[in-house]
Homo-oligomer: A and B are copies of this chain.
Amino acid sequence: MTPPVGEVPGIAPGTSFEGRRALSEAGVHRPLQAGIAGTALGGAVSVVLSGGYEDDQDSGEQILYTGEGGRDPRTGAQTAHQLLTRGNLALARSHLLGQPVRVVRRVVGSTYRYDGLYWVTSFWHEVGRSGYRIWRFLLEAQVPSRPERQATTRLSRTSAHAAQVKAWHDHTCQLCGLRLSTPAGPYAEAAHIRPLGQPHCGPDTPENLLCLCPNCHVLFDLGGVGVAHDLSLLGRPGALRTARAHHLDPTQLAYHRAHVYSEEP
């Protein structure tokens, strides 16, 4: 049975619980030990911040949450890479599904407080202080409500750089070679290699853009495909298609490999 997503009826944000068992019985966070509750397909339903991970950062409305796994159960030290499986995969799934996650904070001793719904606005991986790979999830309390993508939301005041990159490649996907033909002419998207915005802060320049079809854009942004130093593709056969005028910044491709591309199957 899929545990319910969203508010638990009758339990307002700010409600406190004495001990993990009380938290579990109230249906706010079911597992007695795990920090992340949920499933790979249905997404995460709740997380507990107990101050256990030295890499966590909590500024109230924004939480930089470190994934689970790879820690010595006795010492708590990170002794192996974290994988995008189990609870980590559930949080990534919540991102894709646009689903909220209940956030519980340990406030003092064994007292826990339910602090409301947060959204997983992005996720990536990095090398933690231990030297091992950790998965990171940005949880935000306020997410602007957006309708599902539709024709008119595709419109944007396209940057000149994006238009230039699409023209250089004649709207042909650099990953799969598809040139999506529509009644209004060919359609492609300009994808940032190192993502814009916090925490990645990639530049909006042609050297940081790829011309992709919408399907490959989704896969590239979610780490399903990467580009090696020699421009061969990672995660599928083939090589990146290039255009003479379009110079790429290899450091941005390296950033994508280091933080976005997921080598796990």
Q: Name the segment of A45-53, A142-150, A244-252 touching the other chain.
A: A142-150
Contact A223 to B182, CB < 8 A, known contacts A98-B157, A143-B155, A155-B119: yes
CA distance A120 to B184 in the complex (A): 12
Q: Once the chains bind, are B222 and A95 in contact (CB under 8 Å)?
A: no
Q: Which residue of B lies closest to A119 (CB)?
A: B155
**Closest B residue, CB atoms, query A138:** B152
Instruction: Enumerate chain B residues within 8 angstroms of A190, measured Cβ to Cβ.
Output: 148
Establish whether residues A92 and B185, one from each chain, have CB atoms under 8 Å apart when the complex forms: yes
Contact B182 A96 (CB under 8 A): yes
Q: How far is the CB of A98 from chain B (nearest CB, A)?
A: 4
Q: Which of B89, B150, B223 contacts A185 (CB 8 A)?
A: B89
Q: Which residues of B contact A158 (CB under 8 A)?
A: 97-99, 148
Residue of B whose beta carbon sits closest to that of A197: B152
Least Cβ distance of A22 to chain B in Å? Answer: 30
**Nearest B residue to A264, CB-CB:** B183
Task: Select from chain B the residue with minimum beta-carbon distance to A98.
Answer: B158
B221 contacts A151, CB within 8 Å? Answer: yes
Number of chain copies forming the complex? 2
- Contact indicator A148/B156 (Cβ below 8 Å): yes
Query: Given A97-B163, A149-B149, A178-B215, is A223 in contact with B183 using a C-beta cutoff of 8 Å?
Result: yes
| A111-141 interface (Cβ within 8 A of B) | 119-123
Q: How far is the CA of A99 from the CA of B153 in the complex (A)?
A: 14
In whole Å, how far is A127's beta carbon from the nearest beta carbon of chain B?
A: 18
For chain A, the bracket of interface size reads: 35 or more
B89 touching A187 by the CB < 8 A rule? no
Tell me, yes or no, whether A162 is within 8 Å of chain B by CB.
yes
Q: Is the C-beta of A224 less than 8 angstroms from some C-beta in chain B? A: yes
Provide the residues of chain B in CB contact with A192, threshold 8 Å: 148, 150
Q: Tell me, yes or no, whether A217 is within 8 Å of chain B by CB.
A: yes
Contact B92 A154 (CB under 8 A): no
Does A213 belong to the interface (CB within 8 Å)?
A: yes
State whether A221 touches B150 (Cβ < 8 A): yes
- A129 CB to nearest B CB, Å: 24
The answer to whether A185 touches B96, judged by C-beta atoms less than 8 angstroms apart, is yes
Task: Please determine whether A150 and B196 come into contact, CB atoms closer than 8 angstroms.
Answer: yes
Contact with B along A197-235 (1 / 0, CB 8 A): 100000000000000011101110111100000000000
**Which residues on the B side are within 8 Å of A181 (C-beta)?**
224
Give the complex CA separation of A95 and B157 in angstroms: 10
| Minimum Cβ distance to chain B for residue A146 (Å) | 4
